[in-house]
Structure 1
Amino acid sequence: MRLLNRLNQFQRLWLPSSGAPQQVTIAELAERCFCSERHVRTLLRQASDAGWLSWQAQSGRGKRGSLTFHTTPDVLRNEMMELALSKGQQQNALELAQLAPVELRALLHPFLGGQWQNNTPTLRIPYYRPLDPLHPGFLVGRAEQHLAGQIYAGLTRFGRDSARPEGDIAHHWEVSQDGLHWQFYIRSTLHWHNGDPVETHQLKERLEMLLTQPGLRKLFACVAHIDQPHAQCLSFTLHRPDYWLPHRLASYCSVLAHPDDPLLGCGPFQLKIFEPELVRLESHHRYHLGHPLLQAIEFWITPQLFEQDLGTSCRHPVQIAVGQAEELSQLRLVSNSISLGFCYLTFRQSPRLSKAQALRVIALIHQSGLLQSLPVDENLITPSEALLPGWAIPLEGDNDTPLPPHLTLHYHLPVELHTMAEQLKQALAKQGCELTLCFHNAKSWDDYPDLDQADFMMGDRLIGEMPEYTLEQWLRCDPLWPAVLSESRFAMLINTLDAAQAQSEEAERVNALKHIFTLLMEEGMLTPLFNYQYQISAPPGVNGIHLNARGWFDFTRAWLPPSTR
């Protein structure tokens, strides 16, 4: 990068005297800058023309000239970064910031939130952690799941104002009377982000690639094969009826990338930059549905700046603030809700822990005030009163069943479960039960080998656009459940899910799922602990922000009023 090279050279000139005037020869400066004498004269002339320094040469070879500095490398870097940011040159700004990342936060402040850059409406979101790669299939992070739905499209999608699937890549679909044959009719005006037309055979190829993944193979276990009966149609033939199929295809894990390039989609935003420090999305002008109102979305990822103060990026990962830390008092809460997702506790069927003992632990958690007194940030969590609205937690009355002398709890992120685990350990110690804690530093149980060593497990269950379907997906695909249930009981669970999915009426499928989860709670195998309080705050002028099921907002609906500057 030219700017970065010029800054590096200026810093080499400046450093030996820390900016004090120097008496130096051209040869010494050339050695300092690792270049020829001819080139260093060019550097001095350019820097002098820019007003960075003054060079007064002395006649005669080897004579010392006078070098006077009018700025410092830090000030110069800041000016270069501000210029790059104001011109929308994100990559230039990031490369300049590598020299001194400590100053990046202060420099970013004027450019955070909603900005018009070169007549382009841009929303910049400072974020507290690097984003994981957006590979096809299951993703564990809320931000990554949300981004997948903004960059890619699926055959179907969940409606903005309802939890029912509607057409996306497919404009509509039909199902046979027996529920075994589904035809999805593909739009004829689709384009990939690189401008190429979307071919139906590419969608078929990507779907077949998805079905080779173990997790998605479980999710689509009913699919026998996928065919292309004509140019604008995909046909699914099933082993058994599955009326969740449109929901499965609308889930973030089923969105479709180009078969030859997993980063290329046909959703409302195209991925332009995906680096550890910056993720940039730009609107897809040939998107087949309503075009985004913003031209660009940027995630500025500077975790080293937020270790002591998450205010600039988020007060907590579920409470996002699009703005500056020093101006949080001026930000307005634009949307908030209680998450339908929850942190949970599951109890593994084993001789070490009986049903009665598990139910006593559950009662202790929900009836002792433990959840209400957790020492976590105010207005962050809400103790669960139901698994989902209307799916009450069954609690028994008095239960004096003695607890085992030793139990083991395995748990993973989020960080609030550290606090929950310690509080539970103290509560069980008062009951004569020593609790051993084992922390899995991840967001899921994938590839975790020690589940069969746990007496109970604690984790976080994200909920998608249709909560009941998301819970069905959880039971089918999460490695947690084969560890919680015996082999025969898990096989019975899958058979029950298969019977439920064969019900053509959604209400019947939902009632069947409610019965399954109520039974799991009644038998002491599962209990929800707490829900999060999702919040998004933004500065004045950022409009159209409404929380979705994942605690984010639909980027296609956000907008900025025209700039008056």
Structure 2
Amino acid sequence: MEEIFVCSSRNCQMIMQKLLRAEWITWTPGRGRGNRSLLSFRQNREELLLQTAKSHVEKGQLKEAIQFVDTYTATDWERAQFHEWLGKQFGYQPLFIHNQRVDTVRLFFPYPFFCLDPAQIQYSFQKHIVNQLFDRLVRFDKEKQLPEPSLAHYWEANSEGDVWRFYLRKGILFHHGKEMNAHDVCYTLFRLKQLSTQLPGLSSYEAIRKVVNTGEYSLEIELHQANHGFIHYLASERASIIPKGICEEMGERFSLQPLGTGPFRVERNDCDLLVLHAHDTYFQGRAHLDQIELWVVADEELTRKSVSEDAYNIHLGAKTEQETSWKSITRQAVGCKMLFWNRKKNGWGCNERFRQALFSAVDQKAFLEQLGNENMLPADRLIGGAVEAPREAASKEEVNSLLQASGYKGEAIRLYTYSFQRNEQEAEWLAKQWEQFGIRVEITVFAPHEFGSTEFFEQADLFLYYQAADENKELFLLEMYASPGSILRRYFSQELNRKIDDDVPGIVQEAAASRRLARLERLEQQIKQNWTVQFLYHRHECASYHPSLQGVTLNALGWVSFKDIWFQDKAANSV
């Protein structure tokens, strides 16, 4: 037995005792010299494999369960048994914890939620979770395109637009039970002002000169200069209100388990699992579900295998062939896949003729025909409806003429993107398209959390990027074009950034929202004419779900809003 277990006699005896206590084996020692001992297995091998894998899952250790199954299963049938069982553990699950029913929805997600601090979020999935955990002073009505009351029930600005006063609702509680008041709002906004010089995404909050509470439930914000659109920055996820002193109290833990006033609170957040529990005293009404679980699974093929048609499930994307009875919902995401140059690098991005040649060689029509689907629409701007007809590539003669004028001699162009959705496939298609015109492109793919760090991109010439947004069109354009810290502005040339910075004060000083928006759109056209950015497509987002799930809606980030989901029991349908 020592040879089988590859251990000492003493450790072998300990292992045997554990197996006996678990009732996996029986052991009858042979008595006397020459009489062999008898070892009998009491458990079926396949049952033990499944039982052990299930035990890992029940502890929230999905990665360990998958690794165990991949390592020890001998047949496809054994693996299929595990995936069939796993699929039935996801979707809607009425759990019983401490003898109490906990209505739960379990979903797969490819990445861990490594940062949920509103001030530091970068990606759409982070924004979505922040929306479940926090509230802002105001929220944005997508239909009216106007801010509406949220934590603040009323606000006003002076005629110049450089002083804003807010009046807060009473009785709103944070997740740890403390009542929200003006001190918390002042702390939040002052923190954004302090961080605005350190974090690129917060540069807009440098506009704040000072914030003072004028009462327990009122405050005043004074700006350095007039900004009639400043209210939009207060509707941003980054301006989510947090408790006074919480960052100093919690330290780094705040990024993983922050405290807000939103409809859900964080109960667990690690590399395996994010658990959100309903905030019972939420001021806009408690969520119907008790708990949301997001299990981190990077393998899309594994996720597909583990989705059960019979489970009360929900997933992003179109219905599969097996999900014939399921429902689906679709909406156009307010965002865009685009190419943009690194104009900060002293390279081919600084050569206007070459920028024009490379963008002119992109056949948007062929790109969408070969890589697209019914959810992809041709784009010629960052936000807005699809164009009537997609662009076709310029002729070889025209592109070659531009390349000759640029002085290009076949040097490698470095295209950077990140591993999300279909970026790698699209980057490879574009590289082959450019190769037909004699343009050589090398592709580098980063993990999503690395893509926001500028230290990686000093050598990049070109970026392939999808920018998601929310329903607030003015805020979206302000953050992308007016904010010096946006992903685009970080790589614009100094000359272009100076031109934008000269235009921005006049834009935000416009009292009429329609005029501000019109000027932002004109600014976008000027950037396009500079051959710095090329817009490829907008994308319809889709979610599919079991018909017993109700209240399913999609937001502009392409995510399902958790607060209003509920389960309609089959028995109720027969009434």
TM-score, normalised by the number of residues in structure 1: 0.79
Residue deviations 1:171-201 (CA, integer Å, cap 9, x gap): 2222112211111222211212122323432
Structure 1 partner of 2:368: 372
Quick check: 1:191 aligned with 2:173? yes
* Match runs of 1:521-536 below 5 Å: 521-536=528-543
1:208-357 equivalence runs, <5 A: 208-213=190-195, 214=198, 215-258=200-243, 259=246, 260-261=249-250, 262=254, 263-304=258-299, 306-307=300-301, 310=304, 312=306, 321=315, 328-330=322-324, 332-347=326-341, 352=348, 354-357=351-354
Check 1:186–1:112 CA distance in 2 against 1; reply closer, same or farther (3 A cut).
same
- TM-aligned CA deviation for residue 238 of structure 1: 0.4
Q: Against the structure 1 CA distance between its residues 479 and 115, is the aligned structure 2 distance closer, same or farther, given a 3 Å change threshold?
A: closer
Change (3 A) 1:459 1:521: same
Q: In 1, Cα distance between the equivalents of 2:430 and 2:297?
A: 34
The equivalent of 1:389 in structure 2 is 384
Distance 2:303 2:88 in 1: 18
Distance in 2 (alpha carbons) for counterparts of 1:291 and 1:498: 42
Q: Deviations over 1:106-128 (max 9, x none)?
A: 43221211222233321111223
Q: What is the aligned partner in structure 2 of residue 108 from structure 1?
A: 86
Pair 1:28–1:356, CA change in 2 (3 A):
closer
**69 and 425 in structure 1: CA distance in 2 versus 1, 3 angstrom threshold:** closer
Structure 1 counterpart of 2:76:
none
2 CA distance for matches of 1:441 and 1:93?
A: 26
**Letter of the 2:295 counterpart:** W
Answer whether contact 2:318 2:544 (CA < 8 A) is retained.
no
Q: CA 1:79–1:419 in 2, change beyond 3 Å: closer, same or farther? A: closer
Deviation at 1:150, TM superposition (A): 0.5
Structure 1 residue 256 displacement after superposition: 2.7
* Shift in alpha-carbon separation, 1:98–1:455, aligned structure 2, 3 A: closer
Change (3 A) 1:196 1:340: closer
**Which deviates more, 492-501 or 152-161?**
152-161
Q: Distance in 2 between matches of 1:231 and 1:172?
A: 15
C-alpha change, 1:456 and 1:302, in structure 2 (3 Å) is: closer
Gaps of 5+ in 2: 71-78, 309-313
Q: Which moved more, 1:126-135 or 1:146-155?
A: 126-135
**Matched AA of 1:478:** S
Structure 2 counterpart of 1:207, one-letter code: L
1:512 partner letter:
R
Deviation at 1:307, TM superposition (A): 4.6
Offset, 1:136: 3.1
1:439 Cα deviation after fit: 2.0
Q: Does the CA-based 8 Å contact 1:136-1:210 persist in structure 2?
A: no
Aligned counterpart in structure 2 of residue 410 of structure 1, from 412, 415, 422:
415
Alignment of structure 1 residues 420-431 onto 2, 5 Å: 420-431=426-437
Aligned position for 1:4: none
Do the aligned partners of residues 416 and 383 (structure 1) sit closer, same or farther apart at CA in structure 2, a change above 3 Å counting? farther
Of all paired residues, the percent bearing the same amino acid is 19
Task: State the match for 1:75 in structure 2.
Answer: 47
- Residues 117-196 of structure 1 correspond to what in structure 2 (within 5 A)? 117-118=95-96, 119-159=101-141, 162-196=144-178
1:555 and 2:550 correspond: no
Structure 1 residues 311, 97: CA separation in 2 closer, same or farther (over 3 Å shift)? closer
* Matches of 1:391 and 1:96, distance apart in 2: 44
Deviation at 1:490, TM superposition (A): 0.8
Aligned to 1:546: 553
Residues of 2 paired with 1:323 and 1:402: CA distance?
41
1:461 maps onto 2:455 in alignment: no
Q: Give yes or no for contact 1:371–1:530 (8 Å, CA) kept in 2.
A: no
Query: Within the alignment, does 1:497 sit opposite 2:479 as a pair?
Result: no
Q: How far apart are the structure 2 equivalents of 1:16 and 1:270?
A: 46
Give the Cα–Cα distance (whole angstroms) in 2 for the partners of residues 559 and 342 of structure 1: 31
Q: Using the TM superposition, give the Cα deviation of residue 291 of structure 1 relative to its aligned residue in structure 2, in angstroms.
A: 1.8
Instruction: Assess, with a 3 A threshold, how the Cα gap between structure 1 residues 53 and 228 changes in structure 2: closer, same or farther.
Output: same
Contact 1:411 1:458 in 2 (8 A): yes
2:486 alignment partner in structure 1: 478
Change over 3 Å in CA distance of 1:194–1:309 after alignment to 2: closer
Q: 1:271 deviation in Å? A: 0.6
**Could you give the per-residue CA deviations for residues 194-226 of structure 1, whole angstroms, max 9, x where no partner exists?**
223234323322332232223254121211011
1:182–1:237 CA contact under 8 A, matched in 2: yes
- Which residue of 439, 442, 450 maps to 2:444? 439
CA distance in 2, matches of 1:560, 1:445: 38
CA distance in 1, matches of 2:279, 2:166: 23
Q: In structure 1, how many angstroms separate the alpha carbons of the residues matched to 2:121 and 2:553?
A: 23
Distance 1:427 1:80, change over 3 A: closer
RMSD: 4.0
Give the direction of change, closer, same or farther, for the CA distance of 1:128–1:216 in structure 2 (3 Å limit): closer
Counterpart of 2:138, as a letter, is T
1:379-432 per-residue CA deviation (whole Å, 9 max, x = no partner) reads: 46333254332696998998564214246243222463433433333333433x
Over 3 Å counting, the alpha-carbon distance change for 1:503 and 1:323 in structure 2 is: closer
Query: For residue 3 of structure 1, what is the aligned residue in structure 2?
Result: none
* Number of equivalenced pairs: 518
Q: d(CA) in 2 for partners of 1:554 and 1:508? A: 32
2:15 to 8, 32, 38: 32
Q: 1:453 to 1:167 in 2, by over 3 A?
A: same
Partner Cα distance (1:465, 1:441) in 2 = 28
Assess, with a 3 A threshold, how the Cα gap between structure 1 residues 551 and 351 changes in structure 2: closer, same or farther: closer
Displacement of 1:152: 1.6
Aligned-partner Cα distance in 1 for 2:317–2:335: 26
Q: Is the 8 A contact 2:379 2:385 kept in 1?
A: no
AA partner of residue 232 (structure 2): H
1:358 paired with 2:340, answer no
Structure 1 residues 445 and 173: CA distance shift in structure 2, 3 A: same
**Change in 2 beyond 3 A, CA 1:125/1:264:** same
CA distance in 2, matches of 1:437, 1:175: 51
Q: Which runs of 5 or more structure 1 residues have no equivalent in the other structure? A: 1-11, 18-24, 34-39, 315-319
Contact map agreement 1:127 1:313 (CA 8 A) in 2: no
Cα 1:160–1:531 change in 2 (3 A) is closer
Shift of 1:562: 3.6
